[in-house]
A and B are shown apart, each in its own frame.
Chain A
Amino acid sequence: MKVMVAMSGGVDSAVTAALVRDMGHEVVGVTMRLWGGDSDSGCCSVSEVEDARWAANKLGIDHVVFNFGDDFDRHVVQPYVADHLAGLTPNPCVECNRHLKFDRLLARAEALGFDAIATGHHAQVAEVGAARFRVGRGFDDAKDQSYVLYMLGSDALSRILFPIGHMTKAAVRSIAADLGLAAATKPDSQDVCFITSTRGREGFLSDRSSLTPGVVLDEHGEQVATVTAVELVTVGQRRGMGLSGEGERRYVVDVDRANATVRLGLAQDLLRPSVSLRGIVWPDEPLVDGAEVWAQVSAHGAVMRGVWTGDAVAWIEPQKRVAPGQSVVLYDPETNRHVIGGGIAK
């Protein structure tokens, strides 16, 4: 097979390339240049491309660079800014996978004569029937990335390899060290690739829009603090509200972007009986109403039990409100190992 391996410059994708090569496939490493601006490490800076190229050289495989910067801006960065301005909490990595890695790159790989693409995600391709595939959780629970891959259906998954999905991160690093890959000891990438630690979300968003100062109201409607930007406040957030920390813990229970108001409440005020979804995708078959399901509401968060009601998950036990804009990913009720669908919290 001819396999295009997406190489970010990190250890996971370098080992992925090595494993695909050792399976006997014809391999070309590809680094997508997505973001041209400042970055701590991320997936996109020139030095990351150099790291990927070095790894490819070390492995004796060809390496090319594709510039998908315009698509990344259109499908990831602009919606990220727009969502914040609308008071939502977006998952840019989900959108990058949806539009860039497993759409743009997959289509280009096919046009260029490749049979499949491989990435270094900690996830697995689970065969659940004849030519039917689902995203399975990565073997390493702490690194599992199935959450950000929930949009992948059988058609895409039949052309995708996740060669390190059955391994622990420690095993991946060990292989990298054995192969003499410099990335072996590179720290894991964190957070959003285009947000820098020095300037943060606030710096990024303030360059692209004007942020709105807001007032913070307690559960009685009394103003207790102010914030410099309501766009940066997330439902469920506890820190950064200018509270003394005395008394019972207060959480953000609502962000009213239009009125520049953040409302606080007690933990129980955050609880909701369900979460409604939009942009629902069923990579395989839709869940029938009334079916039980496991739902995960953040990349590495807890998994909660619920019942599918057609456009919402009704929790068995009330759960903390999911920040609007976050992806809610549904896993099979039997094993909680396979993604069966997902959507975005309203």
Chain B
Amino acid sequence: MTSVVYLDHAASTPIRPAAVQAMVTVMSQDYANPSGAHLLARSARRTLDDARARLAAVVGAETGDVIFCSGGTEADNLAVRGLSAAGGGSVLVCATEHHAVLDPATGLGATLVPVGRDGRVDLDRFADLCSPEVGLVSIMLVNNETGVIQDLAAIRKVMRKRSPSAVLHTDAVQGLCWLDLRTVASGADAISIGAHKIGGPRGIGALVVRDGVALQAQMLGGGQERERRSGTQDVASAVGFAVAAEATDQSRAAEVERISELRDALLDGLVEAVDGLNPTVADRSITVPGIVHVCIEGIESEALLFLLERHEVMASAASSCASGAQERSHVLMAMGVDPGLAGGALRLSLGHTSSPEDIERALIAIPETVERLRGFGL
């Protein structure tokens, strides 16, 4: 038992021991540059491509579709810029995208697709925005703040009718842990994933681009990754990523069930114990089980998080900016959450190490902390 209640798995989840072991072995043995010509290099290359194949299988792609890069952010940047540069046309992105999509897309003059109060893309409005001129649509599979799942099949259906030549990218960084991408993301032409959200190492992710979809490289140099992403590959991290992905895939059905129960206990307990605590998404069935997002009336997230830490509860609010300050959530604003209420946002995210004891302790710490802060009128 650890002394800390870790409820920030959506930010980064503990690395799986099997991934660490595999990485240590690769680091000490396959240290050569996988682009080299000699025996050791070829061994490293085989290890890298084996990891690539294993990852491809988990996401339902061909081995050659997987482009390793530095993480979800780079994958998103490569997708938005690279797909747009290669395919042309205008860009549509969801208003609740992660900044890793939103910022490069905004730089390309993208139009934002509105969401409803439930956080899901408003399909009628989306259909209105779709036109034959649209070249790229990027809609995240699972929102990192609220856990809301988008219906990519429905999105694709609208695109087929209205924007038949557009490609669909999805940021599935938060999705891979809870959803089988082989089915839910089968309609996407490009998929961003990252390792440290599923128990792999930080510093590696991948953009999966289906065969035949044009992509312009954004990182130039040695022409690695089939000239789509230059830079010497991190073989050990790629292996750690693959090991974590397989472990996630194999345990997913059971974990979804286990974590859903913990989530229900946590959310039901909080609603009962804390007055003025509002689940941000009313319908749990449209969110992944690992993310509980609530807004607490009359509470400031920063103060709440500070005191929760004193109860050894590690959580987060919206997204943190580079300085570490909590920022006003563009996701909640896009959903039409009252700005005052959004100031009391709390994201509790569960993962593979979460236990019933975590929930019990959180259900003591959070109501106590809210009560204390309300006593100070903060």
Contacts and interface: CB of A to CB of B under 8 A. Distances in A.
A50 B323 CA distance: 7
A23 interface: no
Given A67-B326, A70-B328, A108-B378, A46 B321 contact: yes
A113 B325 CA distance: 20
A65 interface: yes
A111 B373 contact: yes
A65 B326 CA distance: 8
A68 to B, nearest CB: 9
Nearest to B317: A67
Q: Top 8 nearest A-B pairs by Cβ distance?
A: A111-B376, A67-B325, A49-B323, A33-B325, A65-B324, A65-B325, A111-B378, A46-B323
15 contacts: A31-B323, A50-B323, A64-B306, A64-B324, A65-B324, A66-B325, A67-B325, A67-B326, A107-B376, A108-B300, A111-B303, A112-B303, A112-B306, A112-B307, A113-B310
B121 to A, nearest CB: 28
A206 to B, nearest CB: 24
Nearest to A30: B306
Contacts of B300: 108
Contacts of A65: 323-325
A66 B321 contact: no
A110 B376 contact: yes
Interface string A83-109: 000000000000000000000000110
Given A31-B323, A64-B324, A107-B378, 10 more contacts: A46-B321, A49-B323, A50-B323, A66-B302, A67-B302, A67-B325, A69-B325, A108-B302, A111-B303, A112-B307
Nearest to B339: A70
Interface of A: 31, 33, 46, 49-50, 53, 64-67, 69-70, 107-108, 110-113
A318 B323 CA distance: 49
B1 interface: no
B372 interface: yes
Contacts of B275: none
B328 to A, nearest CB: 7
B324 to A, nearest CB: 4
B155 to A, nearest CB: 33
B322 to A, nearest CB: 5
Contacts, number: 43
Contacts of A64: 306, 324
Contacts of B264: none
A33 B323 contact: yes
B243 to A, nearest CB: 33
B327 interface: yes
Nearest to A52: B323
A112 B373 CA distance: 8
Which DSSP category, helix, strand, loop or mixed, fits chain A's interface?
helix
A22 to B, nearest CB: 24
A288 B372 CA distance: 42
Contacts of B328: 70
A107 B375 CA distance: 12
Contacts of B327: 67
B321 to A, nearest CB: 7
A113 B308 CA distance: 12
Nearest to B376: A111
Which residue among A64, A65, A111 has the maximum number of chain B CB atoms within 10 Å of its CB?
A111
Contacts of B373: 111
Contact of B303 (A31, A69, A70, A108): A108
A147 B373 CA distance: 33
A49 B307 CA distance: 21
A258 B310 CA distance: 55
Which residue among A67, A107, A113 has the maximum number of chain B CB atoms within 10 Å of its CB?
A67
Contacts of B306: 64, 112
A64 B316 CA distance: 13
Interface in B346-378: 372-373, 376, 378
A46 B372 contact: no
A69 B378 CA distance: 16
Nearest to B343: A70
Which residue among A46, A107, A110, A112 has the maximum number of chain B CB atoms within 10 Å of its CB?
A112
Nearest to A48: B323
Interface in B292-340: 300, 302-303, 306-307, 310, 321-328
A66 B301 CA distance: 10
Contacts of A70: 328
A46 to B, nearest CB: 5
Contacts of B378: 107-108, 111
Contacts of A66: 302, 325
A57 B324 CA distance: 15
B276 to A, nearest CB: 17
B222 to A, nearest CB: 32
Contacts of B323: 31, 33, 46, 49-50, 65
A49 B325 contact: yes
Interface in B121-171: none
Nearest to B300: A108
A91 B307 CA distance: 34
Interface string B79-96: 000000000000000000
